[in-house]
């Protein structure tokens, strides 16, 4: 076996999600995608080890949600037990620094609490590791350098080379998570260790409320006269300023379309 | 002596009498030119409709009663006046700085950037006695010319190859240098997947701040440390978090109205000290060619859509492949079994956001036009010159779709072949 085919150690940070309609605890969608990515990596690079890590309180509801990840085919999950409302970042950073994995995969943002998406950045800053956001796929890992595909808006992809150890965050562009099997999830083990935790005082001071609908922006027409205001209000949304080519040969028509496509830069 | 106004009743009479042979001379003498309105002898305002108005595009004389075109002025001049109505603002000695890092997607300020600059102006102009200045930090090349109109007082343009592509570490080093030298009171970045969300979070943690993310509203609050409080979205868009505005804020689109009444100086600025070059552990290998068929229809950039007018479906698929476009379809094409259901564009199918939408043989039912509302450029190929799609289109070709597509494919292939030869 070639040396670059060695497996890597991957830690997946998981959180307790929140179903968007019922509000029940579930495995978080992005974190599950991250785990799916890690499991794909395990298949791709034999000898890789995937470990699951969660910091938070242990309760009936959260345990059921965490077992959703275990049902994807893992045997154990490390739970750093903390009181409700404490800051997870110091505990996670300490745990990762103690036994550094080569790759840490997280979801882009949590489905509960502040959900600011800061956790991967805070960990990267504390550990001094590079961070790549919006990961779509891991192509290869060779000699401590990973080649990754980053998802860009409009379905585009960018290839990046990152030196390991690194933190990558995953959003909706990553592969969809497999189903969680109930039996293996029940049999798997939650290894809970109690860690000292600081309460997140800043978050406790803020006012949280269910999201209000954001006001729609009105089309404001600044016109000096009533006639201009009327014209702006009665104008059709469609410009109507389009160019219409009639009685042209197919070549001329194609030429005109080709020119527009080139101006817009959509032809590659 | 001169203060006494003397009337010449005879000349007044001549000025009123349009048929008098000396009428025009008298008018010119009295400085009225061709008078369109005057006070009649009985105190009634008289109007001469022949002296006003302008010749319309069809050669018919039009009179604009709005008063905007009195005296036959050209329409362009009023538009000119509307453009010049922006107040010029120059802030010489700002009390503080509000730093904004616009994304400049495609080299221009996006709507999101302009909203963010509007928010920055609100922060800067809160106290008219001690106004702050808005500093924009722009990376790489750009095509934007309206920085002043968007509300920027100081412009720091960092043009270096190191900032091209995905270079968060180099950009972060530059922003840290800005922080050390200029120490802005606020940092504002767009919370958008194009790069602002990533850079903003990195910057906040480098500065040791806990940023507000997903900010969509701010209001003044005397008790907060910076004098503002903000409302931010949290927990997968399901929570509103009210908190004091921190130094670094990442704002959503439509967080404030863009600037539209003032024009700012956009003075170029440069840093005194050189920016330390960052050691990068991330290497950008460039964009990857993706299979357009695999791109989700809702987020595809370029869509070729087929409808009832397409007869040669093999040619259509071939054209889409050659053009590198994602395929879409109208309802009829889907119902007739030529395309899969998930390719349907419109009210029942997908609402698309393509920059260029090429509609082939689609007449444009209202449900379909709804689905393409947010497309920038629509190109239509259709046989019926009166159809709704042609009215909507920016470029329409009235011809048979198969022939046009074949010609277009030939053209593109010829172009690519030529490029390959040249290379």
CATH number at B88-269:
3.40.50.620
CB B271 within 8 A of CB B173: no
Question: CB–CB of B411 and A114 under 8 A?
Answer: no
pLDDT, chain B, mean: 85
Least confident range from A100-109, B12-21, B29-38: namely B29-38
**B residues 349..388 contacting A (CB < 8 A):** 355-356, 358, 373, 376-379, 381, 385
Q: Greater confidence, A222 or B286?
A: B286
What residue spans of A110-264 are helical by DSSP H? 119-127, 182-187, 201-205, 226-234, 250-264
CB A190 within 8 A of CB A63: yes
How far B246 CA lies from chain A's nearest CA (Å)? 12
The beta-carbon neighbor of B282 closest among A115, A130, A214 is: A130
CB A149 within 8 A of CB A41: no
Q: At a CB cut-off of 8 Å and minimum separation 6, what does B33 contact?
A: B27
Return the axis-axis angle of helices B401-422 and A250-264, rounded to nearest 10°. 60
Q: Please indicate if any CB of chain B lies within 8 Å of the CB of A176.
A: no
Nearest CA in chain A to B196: A133
Q: B398-401: long-range contacts (C-beta < 8 A, 24 or more apart)?
A: B398/A244, B398/A245, B398/A246, B398/A247, B399/A245, B399/A248, B399/A250, B399/A253, B400/A250, B401/B309, B401/B310, B401/B311, B401/B360, B401/B361
Q: Please indicate if any CB of chain B lies within 8 Å of the CB of A238.
A: yes
Task: Give which of B250, B220, B248 is closest to B233, Cα–Cα.
Answer: B250
The sign of the dihedral angle between the CA atoms of B147, B152, B158, B163 is negative
Q: Tell me the per-residue pLDDT of B38-87, one tens digit each, with 9 for 90 and over.
A: 777 888 888 877 777 778 778 888 887 776 654 433 444 444 444 567 88
A139 φ, ψ (degrees, to nearest 5): -85, -60
Ranges in chain B annotated CATH 3.40.50.620: 88-269
**A residues 142..161 contacting B (CB < 8 A):** 147, 149-150, 152-161
Fold of the domain spanning B292-417: Rossmann fold (3.40.50)
Tell me the whole-structure pTM to 2 decimals: 0.77
CA–CA distance, A160 with A171 (Å, rounded to integer): 17
Is residue A239 predicted with pLDDT exceeding 80? no
Question: CB–CB of A18 and B324 under 8 A?
Answer: no
Q: Report the pLDDT averaged over residues B82-104.
A: 83
Question: CB–CB of B395 and A260 under 8 A?
Answer: yes
Q: Tell me the per-residue pLDDT of B151-165, one tens digit each, with 9 for 90 and over.
A: 999 999 988 888 888
Q: Domains of chain A (ranges plus CATH)? A: 3-205 (3.40.50.620)
A201 CB neighbours in chain B (<8 A) are none
Question: CB–CB of A206 and B397 under 8 A?
Answer: no
> Strands, E, within A37-188: which ranges?
49-56, 76-81, 103-107, 131-142, 145-151, 157-163, 166-170
Q: Report the pLDDT averaged over residues A197-216.
A: 85
Q: Tell me the per-residue pLDDT of B292-336, one tens digit each, with 9 for 90 and over.
A: 878 888 888 899 999 999 999 999 999 999 998 999 999 999 999
E strand or H helix at B24, and its extent?
A: helix B23-29
Q: What is the DSSP letter of B292?
A: G
**B residues 234..293 contacting A (CB < 8 A):** 234-243, 254, 257, 260, 281-290
CB A124 within 8 A of CB A89: no
pLDDT tier for residue B380 given thresholds of 50, 70 and 90: very high
Q: What is the DSSP letter of A101?
A: -
A258 CB neighbours in chain B (<8 A) are 408, 411-412, 415
């Amino acid at each position: 076996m070639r040396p670059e085919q060695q497996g890597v150690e991957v830690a997946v940070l998981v959180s307790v999600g929140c179903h968007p309609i019922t509000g029940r605890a579930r495995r978080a969608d992005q974190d599950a995608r991250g785990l799916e990515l890690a499991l794909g990596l395990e298949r791709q690079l034999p000898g890789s080890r995937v470990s699951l890590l969660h910091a938070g309180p242990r309760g009936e509801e959260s345990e059921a949600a965490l077992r959703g990840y275990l049902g994807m085919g893992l045997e154990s999950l490390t739970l750093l037990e903390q009181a409700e409302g404490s800051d997870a970042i110091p505990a996670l950073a300490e745990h990762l620094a103690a036994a550094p994995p080569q790759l840490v995969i997280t979801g882009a943002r949590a489905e509960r609490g502040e959900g600011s998406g800061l956790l991967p950045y805070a960990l990267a800053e504390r550990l001094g590791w590079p961070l790549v956001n919006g990961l779509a796929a891991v192509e290869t890992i060779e000699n401590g350098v990973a080649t990754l595909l980053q998802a860009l808006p409009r379905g585009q992809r960018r290839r990046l080379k990152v030196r390991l150890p690194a933190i990558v965050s995953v959003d909706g562009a990553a592969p969809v998570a497999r189903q969680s099997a109930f039996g293996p999830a029940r049999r798997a083990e939650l290894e809970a260790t109690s860690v000292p935790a600081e309460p997140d005082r800043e978050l406790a001071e803020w006012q949280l409320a269910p999201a209000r609908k954001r006001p729609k922006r009105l089309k404001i027409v600044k016109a000096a006269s009533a006639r201009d205001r009327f014209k702006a209000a009665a104008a059709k949304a469609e410009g109507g300023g389009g160019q219409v080519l009639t009685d042209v040969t197919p070549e001329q028509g194609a030429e005109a379309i080709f020119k527009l496509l080139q101006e817009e830069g959509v032809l590659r | 002596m001169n203060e006494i106004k003397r009337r010449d009743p005879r000349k007044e009479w001549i000025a009123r009498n349009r048929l008098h042979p000396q009428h025009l001379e008298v008018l010119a003498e009295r400085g009225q030119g061709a008078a369109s309105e005057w006070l009649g002898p009985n105190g009634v305002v008289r109007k001469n409709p022949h002296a006003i108005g302008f010749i319309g595009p069809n050669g018919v004389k039009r009179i604009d009663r709005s008063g905007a075109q009195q005296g036959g002025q050209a329409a362009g001049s009023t538009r000119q006046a509307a453009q010049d109505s922006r107040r010029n603002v120059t802030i010489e000695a700002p009390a503080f700085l509000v730093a904004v890092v616009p994304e400049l997607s495609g080299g221009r300020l996006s709507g999101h950037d302009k909203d963010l600059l509007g928010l920055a102006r609100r922060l800067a102009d809160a106290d008219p006695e001690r106004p702050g200045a808005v500093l924009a930090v722009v990376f790489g090349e750009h095509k934007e010319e309206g920085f002043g109109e968007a509300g920027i007082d100081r412009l720091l343009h960092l043009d270096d190859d190191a900032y091209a592509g995905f270079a968060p570490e180099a950009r972060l080093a530059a922003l840290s240098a800005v922080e050390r030298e200029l120490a802005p009171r606020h940092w504002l970045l767009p919370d958008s997947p194009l790069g602002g969300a990533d850079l903003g979070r990195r910057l906040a943690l480098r500065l040791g701040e806990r940023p507000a993310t997903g900010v969509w509203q701010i209001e003044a609050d005397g008790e907060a440390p910076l004098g503002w409080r903000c409302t931010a979205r949290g927990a997968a868009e399901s929570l509103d978090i009210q908190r004091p505005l921190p130094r670094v804020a990442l704002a959503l689109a439509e967080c404030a109205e863009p600037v539209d009444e003032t024009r700012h100086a956009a003075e170029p600025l440069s840093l005194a000290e050189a920016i330390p070059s960052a050691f990068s552990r991330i290497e950008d290998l460039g964009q990857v060619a993706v299979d357009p068929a695999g791109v989700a229809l809702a987020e595809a950039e370029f869509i070729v859509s087929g409808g009832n007018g397409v007869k040669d479906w093999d040619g259509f698929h071939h054209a889409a492949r050659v053009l590198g476009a994602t395929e879409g379809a109208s309802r009829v094409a889907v119902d007739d079994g030529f395309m899969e259901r998930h390719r349907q564009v419109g009210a029942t199918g997908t609402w698309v956001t393509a920059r260029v939408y090429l509609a082939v043989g689609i007449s444009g039912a209202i449900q379909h036009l709804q689905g393409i509302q947010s497309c920038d450029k629509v190109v239509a190929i259709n046989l019926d010159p009166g159809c709704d799609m042609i009215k909507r289109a920016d470029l329409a070709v009235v011809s048979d779709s198969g022939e046009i597509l074949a010609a277009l494919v030939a053209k593109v292939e010829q172009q690519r072949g030529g490029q390959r030869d040249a290379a």
